[in-house]
Amino acid sequence: MSTPADAARPAAGTPHAGAAPTWRRVAAQAAFETRAILRNGEQLLVTVLLPLFLLVGLDRVHAIELDTSGATRIDFVTPGVLAVAVMSTAFTSQAIATAFDRRNGVLRLMATTPLGRGGLLAGKVLGVLAVEVVQAVVLVAAALVLGWNPAASGIALAVVAALLGTAAFTSLALLVAGTLRAEGVLAVANLLLVLLIVAGGVLVPPAHLATGWGHVAALLPSGALGDAMRGALLDGSIPLGPVVVLLVWTVVLGWAARRWFRWQ
């Protein structure tokens, strides 16, 4: 005699329901990527503690001379530190995580699931953006406590600048992670971040660097991102030049990553 439970139970050989909708698969992957970064001590050091240390140090340590062009130190340094935060997550953190996923066969395995390659990449990008939101909350709160007074009209533009920087540096991260060995990526990503912070025009405007190098720094994604953030939060506008530079880098690096990225 059949029961309601028997009627509800699928007959033998009946296929199970299909995979979850694409947006749910991508959202789950994004949540995983976000937790993986925020739970990793080394990643947390690079993505949150390093920018916070730079913010407080550059504002409070007056032994470090800065030409603020009339702005207060905290108003001058905060846009650059926010740019560093974008770089640390979109490039350094993402390059290292992706490289080790590739070495361990995770990328190749995930690419064969219903998530697919496109869903995996989308989840990684959304994970980067989620971490950047956490960074922004921490850094903005600290900057406000220190007396930061941004141009209100430029806040939305600063978000646009951050998105442009995220696109460029995520493309660079995927290019590096997909072409070098994981151990090499670990060294290159950290070293390149330090070099860009020191001489890439992100904390100090390219125009304030040595004449010859300043022109080069202005054409780097770090210098363009720093100038875009400073323009938005100091003046309430983004210069066209940095926007063009970031878009060009995104297209070139994105093409290169698509061309040479190896999944295993």
pLDDT tens, position by position, 156-181: 999 999 999 999 999 999 999 999 99
**Does residue 11 surpass a pLDDT of 60?**
no
pLDDT at 163 (0 to 100): 97
pLDDT at 17 (0 to 100): 53
| Helices (H), ranges, 89-210 | 94-103, 106-111, 116-145, 155-177, 182-199
Q: Report the alpha-carbon distance of residue 244 to residue 229 in Å, rounded.
A: 14
In angstroms, the first-to-last Cα distance of the chain is: 55
Q: Tell me phi and psi for residue 170, to 5 degrees.
A: -70, -40
Q: Tell me phi and psi for residue 16, to 5 degrees.
A: -70, 165
- Please report which confidence band the pLDDT of residue 121 belongs to, taking 50, 70 and 90 as the band edges: confident
Q: What is the pLDDT of residues 39-50, one digit of tens each?
A: 888 888 999 999
Torsional class of 95: left (φ above 0), alpha (ψ -120 to 50), beta (otherwise): alpha
